Amino acid sequence: MNQPIFYLRTELPNIKLKKMLSLMTEWQTGFIFQAPSNNTIRLAYGALAERYFTKNEDQFDALRSWQSDLKAQLATPSSTSEGQPALVGSFAFNPTSEKSNVFWGKLAQGYFFLPKYTVIKSGNSTALITCSFDAATLEEESKLFAQKLQRMPSCSLTLAEHAPLVKNDTTLDQWAAAVAATTAKIQQHQLDKVVLARSLETNFNDVIEPLAVWRKLTLTQPQTYHILLKTAWGSFISATPERFAKFQEHRFQTAAVAGTIRRGQTRTEDDCLGTQLLKDHKNLQEQNYVLQTISNTLRKHGLTVRYSKHPQLLKNPNVQHLYTPIMANGSFELFKVLHDLHPTPALGGLPRKKALRQIEQVEPVTRGLFGSPLGYFQFDGTGELAVGIRSALLTGSSAHLFAGAGIVSESIPQQEVAETQLKFRPLLHVLGDQNEEHTDID
């Protein structure tokens, strides 16, 4: 018989983010989620319950079933979503992959957990949600955690000083050859589009502190998501600009993001590059594939879909993309919609099954969590997921960085290599700089 799960929401005094991050260093399992231009940060500490997915398992249906079971165990019903705990974690890009997943470990097929403690900081407001199997100790557990959080020193999180950065890019030639082979198949009309990803391994003399990396990304990449999944198997970190889904009853939001060009050194050059991207046939074609596929998928689920006729620019410090927000309304079965959307052509390709076979055949390493939806699910059906790009897996003193490029009939290997190098920059910059900036973010 499953144990009842008791939960309690309490309001806390305004607490600095540095204290929250310092406390998370003491926990093996943790999660942080911050959306772009949003002053709300969700931090999760410890796993009361957890779910690793297995190979060939339908991960979306498995999470739906697990969430349903846990919801039935909740013994403290709440009428508002703000008072509820949430499942946090990440799906896998391709759980059926036959490639070696040595550095991903148990994360290779995805992982979600129900946090023991969740802190939600929004502006000057801070709330704590505590979960427990023991109703008698719930209030005391919540009180002790809150006291420890308030007493934590606001120590600076730093990356090890003078740690030389060593890059291992041994699969670059193999990846460039894969781009050429894939482009040839597209030109022969065997495929329409394929997104190919590659990995870059970096090594330090000292252990990398994931929370310091996350903190620096909030400063250097302010207009992106900032997400960290911290586990015994390693920490997956992402500064993705791309929303996968934000959802609530009768409302579903997503976005079509594709096409990439660098940022300019001056305002004039930046505007010229942006205009070039908005007129570039290859990039417009790539983005339109994504837009139409997502829209058609949502319509198949009975949703009414709205979006702008022309894409806009999504600007990040290193690159800019073509971007179209998508709004959908109507009744829908959440996990079925998510299943059918993943992966979008922005991370997989078209036709989907053929593109995924090509990815499996030619990519040098398994993607694991790269390109996967990650975020949180509340028990009332609300939540948000981002796409795990601009990301890295941090394990000890090593970091495996991931980046992808959309391959179409006009793709040139050298240009696609250059695009992935641009996408590596945000994390390489953070990992290469040894100390965090001292700007305080409360």
Looking at the annotation, which residues are catalytic?
A: 193, 242
Pairwise CA distance, residues 117 & 304, whole Å: 37
Here the tokens at position 219 are 């400063």
CA dihedral 406, 424, 277, 306 (to 10 degrees): 70
60, 186 contact by CB (below 8 A) = no
Q: What are phi and psi of 91, to 5 degrees?
A: -80, 175
What is the rounded radius of gyration, in angstroms, for the C-alpha atoms of the chain?
Answer: 21
Quote the crossing angle between the two packed helices 267-279 and 281-300, to the nearest 10°: 60
Look-up: residue for tokens 């919540």? 142
Q: How many residues does the chain have?
A: 442
CB contact set of 175 (below 8 Å; sequence gap of 6+): 196, 198, 363, 364, 417
51, 64 contact by CB (below 8 A) = no
Q: What are phi and psi of 116, to 5 degrees?
A: -70, -45
Task: Tell which residue, 336, 355, 335, has the closest CA to residue 346.
Answer: 355
User: What number of CA atoms fall less than 13 Å from residue 244's CA on the CB side?
Assistant: 29
Task: Tell which residue, 6, 8, 430, has the closest CA to residue 224.
Answer: 430
Pairwise CA distance, residues 351 & 99, whole Å: 22
CB contact set of 345 (below 8 Å; sequence gap of 6+): 193, 195, 258, 289, 290, 293, 352, 355, 406
Full DSSP string of 342-359? SSPTTTSEESHHHHHHHH
